[in-house]
Amino acid sequence: MDLTRYSRRKAHEVLIGGVKIGSAHPIAVQSMTNTPTANTELSVAQTKRIADAGAGIVRLTAQGRKEGENLENIVAELRKDGYSTAIVADIHFVPEVASIAARYVDKVRINPGNYRTSNGELEALIAQCRERGVALRIGVNHGSLAKRIFDEWGDTPEGMVVSAMEFLRVCRREEFDQVVVSMKSSNTRVMVQAYRLLVEAMEREGMTYPVHLGVTEAGNGIEGRIKSAVGIGALLADGIGDTIRVSLTEAPENEVPVAQMLVDYYQKREGEFPIASTENYHPTEYVRRTDVMTPVVHDEITEQFRIIESVSGNPTAELRAAILNMQDRTPVVVKRRYDDADVEVVAVKAAADLGVLFLDGLADGIWVDAPHLKEEQIRDIELMILQAARVRFSHTEYIACPSCGRTLYDIEKTLADIKSRTSHLKNLKIGIMGCIVNGPGEMADADYGYVGAAAGRITLYKGREIVERNIPQEEAIDHLIALIKANGDWQDAE
């Protein structure tokens, strides 16, 4: 990767329906429905809303044969109504559903955690995709690695890369290049490290597959937007990424303008900023540059800090170069001015510009200079960026999935209800998951988990351990609160 400027990593062209992705094309924006895929009317209507919001690619879950077969009806209705939107089927657990979906859609996403490379399943799917001109996404999830990978590597970025490379090598052996790869996690540090390691591994083997970016279970509101922008922005700054999804626990069409904002923002990067030495800079590892253990926000800056302000059109490269060119280990506050009046715009831009400097252990403080925002809003944005970068936890973190057709309850309302009762708590992570597909794995570093187990039923976790199973949904939040209190974690945030 080129640390001195913004330039796209070379990626060959992949055709997803009528959408071309790869480094020769604009970064494509996509989203995913949360309607039951067996319901044609609801799925078509939501796909249209997502497409009308500006997404060229829409993904739908196909968890069983019925849902896989109904993709034919959904695609037919969309095409009849004049929508050329590229349609992607998302497959979990049942590999045979991928072969059903591949008859009707433009791309199939499979999770290596649910496949084996030794029984010919993948080769058969590749042959089918080749025949119809269907693209394939190798979608590795931090929370659902195959057992044999997990047993050897744990749920680590390295394990994610091993999983992806196994499948990419099969694709190359089969001479099938219409492949996209993703390495998603709800932990931004894990996510960024996994993508960087993947790119290095592909480069060593001469692979140029396009990359799909996303932070899973980012949550909602400003916090969810900031978490997504920190992870996705870090990689876009490195030139990595050919299509992106911002995953929010909101109506899926809300994801599209946030993703498009990030795409547009990075297309305007400019300038080169030479770095004297990268000898002690290892972007696939987390190493603190100084002894400052808790980065500060702007109203906590003291004389010990040096303030470095970005004034260029490429803040990340400019600030990174300035820090790496320093001759000493003086703690650094990174500063950037934003003249936007919209708090969401400031939050997304600042998270994308500055978050990576904390993910990489380079910066010790943050100063978002936003004259049109209130002081309280600025401080909240700064604290949220530090928390999203995993360097300072100042409030409850919600690892909440965006929901899909597998979701077993109203996750948006549930997230709002849980937030209203727990947002004051200190240094706590709560996972709120729609189903068991990625839930237990993706919330592995959460303190507590609330997971859909069946229709109207919830299972509660403490860490990785199940505490209560199949609680009636109407009682589940009360049980969660009681569990937190019983374990002594009912403490106010800063």
pLDDT tens readout for residues 384-396: 999 999 999 888 8
Query: Are the C-beta atoms of residues 220 and 346 closer than 8 Å to each other?
Result: no
Single residue among 354, 388, 422 that ends a domain in this structure: 388
* Residue 293, in any domain of the structure: no
**For residue 3, what pLDDT is reported?**
77
Structure tokens at 146: 């195959």
Single residue among 360, 388, 416 that ends a domain in this structure: 388
**For residue 441, what pLDDT is reported?**
61
Burial (Cβ within 10 Å: 0-12, 13-18, ≥19) of residue 114: middle
Same domain, 50 and 143: yes
Query: Are the C-beta atoms of residues 289 and 362 closer than 8 Å to each other?
Result: yes
Check which CATH number belongs to the domain holding 167 and give it. Answer: 3.20.20.20
Angle at 113 between CA 112 and CA 117, to 5 degrees: 50
**For residue 301, what pLDDT is reported?**
97
Same domain, 376 and 409: no
Closest alpha carbon to 336 in 315, 357, 318, 356: 315
**For residue 109, what pLDDT is reported?**
96
Same domain, 75 and 216: yes
Count of beta carbons in the 10 Å neighbourhood of residue 20: 16
User: pLDDT by residue for the chain (494 residues), tens digit each?
Assistant: 677 878 899 999 999 999 999 999 999 999 999 999 999 999 999 999 999 999 999 999 998 999 999 999 999 999 999 999 999 999 977 888 999 999 999 999 998 877 777 788 899 999 999 999 999 999 998 877 888 888 899 889 999 999 999 999 999 999 999 999 999 988 999 999 999 999 999 999 999 999 999 998 778 899 999 999 999 999 999 999 999 999 998 999 999 999 999 999 998 888 888 888 787 788 888 889 999 999 999 999 999 999 999 999 999 999 999 999 999 999 999 999 999 999 999 999 999 999 999 999 999 999 999 999 999 999 999 999 999 999 998 888 887 766 665 566 677 788 888 888 888 887 788 888 776 655 566 666 788 888 887 777 888 888 878 888 888 888 889 998 999 888 887 876 55
Closest alpha carbon to 336 in 360, 362, 359, 318: 318
Domain span including residue 465: 397-486
Same domain, 205 and 165: yes
| Residue 108 to residue 111: CA distance in whole angstroms | 10
Query: What phi and psi, each to the nearest 5 degrees, are found at residue 311?
Result: -130, 0
* Residue 368, in any domain of the structure: yes
Give the pairing type, strands 14-16 and 19-21: antiparallel
Same domain, 106 and 213: yes
Query: Are the C-beta atoms of residues 205 and 161 closer than 8 Å to each other?
Result: no
Single residue among 359, 388, 417 that ends a domain in this structure: 388
* Residue 3, in any domain of the structure: no
Structure tokens at 237: 């700054």
Query: Computed over its alpha carbons, how large is the radius of gyration of the chain?
Result: 22
Same domain, 120 and 169: yes
Same domain, 302 and 262: no
| Residue 473 to residue 482: CA distance in whole angstroms | 15
* Per-residue pLDDT reduced to its tens digit, 233-287: 999 999 999 999 999 989 999 999 999 999 999 988 888 888 887 877 888 888 8
Check which CATH number belongs to the domain holding 459 and give it. Answer: 3.30.413.10
Distance from the first to the final alpha carbon of the chain: 38
* Residue 228, in any domain of the structure: yes
* Residue 70, in any domain of the structure: yes
Total H helices, total E strands in the chain: 15, 18
* Residue 163, in any domain of the structure: yes
Query: Are the C-beta atoms of residues 207 and 162 closer than 8 Å to each other?
Result: no
Give the pairing type, strands 57-61 and 28-32: parallel
Same domain, 381 and 404: no
CA 64 to centroid of chain Cα atoms: 25
Same domain, 31 and 70: yes
Considering its fold, how many domains does the chain have in total?
3
* Residue 5, in any domain of the structure: no
Structure tokens at 367: 């100063």
Same domain, 243 and 204: yes
Distance set, CA 79 to CA 87, 104, 342, 419 (Å):
11, 12, 37, 40
Amino acid at 468: E
Same domain, 48 and 114: yes
Same domain, 90 and 151: yes
Distance set, CA 184 to CA 106, 121, 175, 245, 484 (Å):
21, 23, 25, 11, 28
pTM of structure? 0.91
* Residue 290, in any domain of the structure: no
Closest alpha carbon to 112 in 229, 49, 39, 198: 198
